[in-house]
Amino acid sequence: MTVVLVHGNPETDALWDPLVDVLGRDDVVRLSPPGFGAPLPDGFTATYLAYRDWLERAVEGIGGTVDLVGHDWGGGHVVNLVMHRPELVRSWVSDVLGIFDPEYIWHDMAQVWQTAGEGEQLVETMMGGDVEDRTAALVGYGIPADIAARIAAEQGEEMGRAILSVYRSAHQPAMAEAGRALETARARPGLSLLATEDSYVGSDDVRRRTAERAGARTEVLDGLGHWWMVQDPALGAAALTRFWETLD
């Protein structure tokens, strides 16, 4: 069995360090989406469907029994993959199921990225400056300084281009339309991680509703926010382990 972790925006796989340490497993693989800690290949469109196809190829390359875990856009890629090719995984986990609900409204920063001109200005502010500036911004979000510094070192123009492309491809109603296939995800056991202080991915009701449609159980991470895996990795690891134990 292989646990496959997929992170999101504006991150690299360093974000998973505390969770991987607590899990204490030797079968964990981290996948970095193109532009987010991995090179952005020539011709890669960085749309949400392009990332789904990238993840499909990556999981096929791993082979065997895969338990797929996604955070932020990584969680979106996971759900998109499972709706498309559920047979590739044994199970799946996402903390952003709410974005597939018809009532979901993108958060304020996403709406800026989706706006021509304003999005470019925001990305330039985020990805410009020096590593120390970008580190401080990530620390402001609640990411520990050592992990923030490692992420900031890999941020730059490529990540900025990827941010604009993926968010603009997902401008509503795109994700609501993708979510019409949520019932397909029932083909494999799923888990929705509901961090109660995460303000980016829809209300609790929206997240529970989409989880039910996808046939996923919900684990509540009480008091934790968007970056739950660095806030309380032990709580996150326990929720994941309980889920995986039900599959054995």
pLDDT in tens, 156-179: 999 999 999 999 999 999 999 999
Interval 12-23: pLDDT, tens = 999 999 999 999
Predicted pLDDT of residue 13: 98
Dump pLDDT digits (tens) for 218-242.
Answer: 999 999 999 999 999 999 999 999 9
Q: What is the pLDDT of residue 10?
A: 98
Q: What is the mean pLDDT of residues 78-107?
A: 97
198: confidence class by pLDDT, cuts 50, 70, 90: very high
Mean pLDDT of 203-214: 97
Q: What are phi and psi of 139, to 5 degrees?
A: -60, -35
- What stretch of H or E contains 31? strand 28-31
pLDDT at 74: 98
Alpha-carbon dihedral angle through residues 200, 203, 207, 213, given to the nearest 10 degrees:
-130
The rounded mean pLDDT for the chain is 97
**Structural domains in the chain plus CATH codes:** 2-104+175-245 (3.40.50.1820)
- Per DSSP, 222 falls in state T
Q: How does strand 216-221 pair with strand 190-195?
A: parallel
In angstroms, the Cα distances linking 173 to 70, 170, 176, 179 are: 22, 8, 5, 10
Binned at pLDDT 50, 70 and 90, residue 248 comes out as confident
Q: Where are the alpha helices (DSSP H) in the chain?
A: 17-23, 48-62, 73-84, 108-113, 118-127, 131-140, 145-152, 157-169, 174-178, 204-213, 228-231, 233-245
Sheet strands side by side (includes 91-94): 28-31, 2-6, 66-70, 91-94, 190-195, 216-221
**pLDDT at residue 204, as a whole number:** 96
The confidence score (pLDDT) of residue 34 equals 98
CA distances from 33 to 38, 41, 204, 241 (A): 6, 11, 27, 24
Q: Model confidence over 31-78: pLDDT tens digits?
A: 999 999 999 999 999 999 999 999 999 999 998 999 999 999 999 999
